[in-house]
Amino acid sequence: MRLRRRHVRRLGEVPERHRDTASRQRQEQRAADLHRLDAALLTFHRCCLPCCHRGLLPRAVPRSECLVHYSLLSNMFVIDKLIIPGRRCGQRREDLVDHDARAGSAGLGLDGKRVLLTGAASGIGRATATLLAGLGAELVLVDVAPLAEVEAEVRRAGAKATTRVGNLADEPFLQALAAEEGIFAFANCAAVFSREGWREDLSAEARFDLLMRINVRAPLVLGNAFVDRMGERGGGFIVLVGSAAGRNGGGIAGGTPLDYAASKGAVHTLVRSLSRHGVGRNVLVNGVAPGPVDTPLARGLPFAPSALPLGRMGRVDEIAWPIAFLCSPAASYISGAVLDVNGGAFVG
């Protein structure tokens, strides 16, 4: 039988309708990648992060309005890249709390997620609260000190916040926190430091007991409770803040009180123990061990910041970013790790 040429298909030739479908799928994938990259670029731009020598797509620029930032996710995308010089854009750090920063939360997947944060009134905890708000998280702020100011900052960022004011050494208050529902991530930044003059109204034994209740027992009780609750809901993230003092017994500066160093060493061990307890239920537990950070607590320590490898103490936002990362699905294959954030002052 004789066939017309139009009825004969060459071997390996793809029908035109199939080519159209494949082309349309590639266009849809590219559009989706562009949207995700643009959202991530906006986050990096708002936070004034340094950029690399590759990874920026021109079509993502109009919303971020920045020609120097890039997305860490871009290497996973099927899109072209533009080689540019690496530098900072100079955008002011305060823009982190802009409403538009919430558009960048796609990079960490925290938009609308409920995060319980202790020690939120000042220092590292306050910086973490502000950052998480900029990333779209819904916050439960906990501290023994008033939380009105940080709550106002969070709300200015367009995020929701509730406050819980109380002492973590108080058992009823601790159990009430452990009963909080719908927690996606728990970050423990609260701690006390037994510097000279702290709680002189108590005996040495009572001061030690109080410090251990706040620095160790509180994260243990809350972490254990949230491992169970998060496991029932399909998973979650827990981050416990330790210290370089828990790594080497005396911190980077030296002269760290023995009880504080011991408590932070216990926190690092607690990270590993909780990780073993939770990882099988998709609850990932990690820690962050800061070196000297420019907070009122550290300014009285007997050392010169110029002696540190970077010649300065860390900033609170430089600790907040690792905490936020470990609270997010971006850290979905990390568990049982204690991340040293000390500017290279302690390596081990």
Residues 25 and 154 in one domain: no
The predicted pLDDT at position 79 comes to 42
* Domain assignment of residue 2, yes or no: no
- Among 64, 91, 118, the domain-final residue is 91
Residues 62 and 191 in one domain: no
- Among 91, 116, 144, the domain-final residue is 91
Residue 44: band (very low, low, confident or very high) from pLDDT cuts 50, 70, 90: low
Pairing relationship of beta strands 236-241 and 283-290 according to DSSP bridges = parallel
Question: Count of domains in the chain?
Answer: 2
Q: What is the pLDDT of residues 81-116, one digit of tens each?
A: 443 333 344 443 333 333 333 334 445 889 999 999
* Domain assignment of residue 173, yes or no: yes
pTM of structure = 0.70
The predicted pLDDT at position 39 comes to 60
Positions annotated as catalytic residues are 260
Average pLDDT over residues 53-62: 36
Residues 133 and 280 in one domain: yes
Q: What is the pLDDT of residues 164-184, one digit of tens each?
A: 999 999 999 999 999 999 999
The predicted pLDDT at position 344 comes to 85
- Among 62, 91, 120, the domain-final residue is 91
Q: What is the CATH number of the domain that holds 198?
A: 3.40.50.720
- Distance CA(99)–CA(105), nearest Å, equals 11
Cβ neighbours for 258, distance < 8 A, ≥ 6 positions apart: none
Residues 207 and 74 in one domain: no
Q: What is the pLDDT of residues 67-84, one digit of tens each?
A: 444 433 344 344 444 433
3-state secondary structure 284-311: EEEEEEECCECCHHHHCCCCCHHHCCCC
Residues 55 and 107 in one domain: no
Angle at CA of residue 310, ends 309 and 313, nearest 5°: 105
Find the domain containing 43 and state its range. 16-91
- Distance CA(266)–CA(282), nearest Å, equals 23
The predicted pLDDT at position 85 comes to 38
The predicted pLDDT at position 101 comes to 39
The SS3 assignment for 200 reads coil
Q: Give burial (CB, 10 Å; 0-12/13-18/19+) of 293.
A: buried
Outline where DSSP puts E strands in the chain: 114-118, 138-143, 161-165, 185-188, 236-241, 283-290, 338-341
**Is residue 97 within 8 Å of 72, Cβ to Cβ?**
no
Residues 69 and 199 in one domain: no
CA dist list (Å): 253 to 128, 286, 298, 320: 24, 24, 10, 21
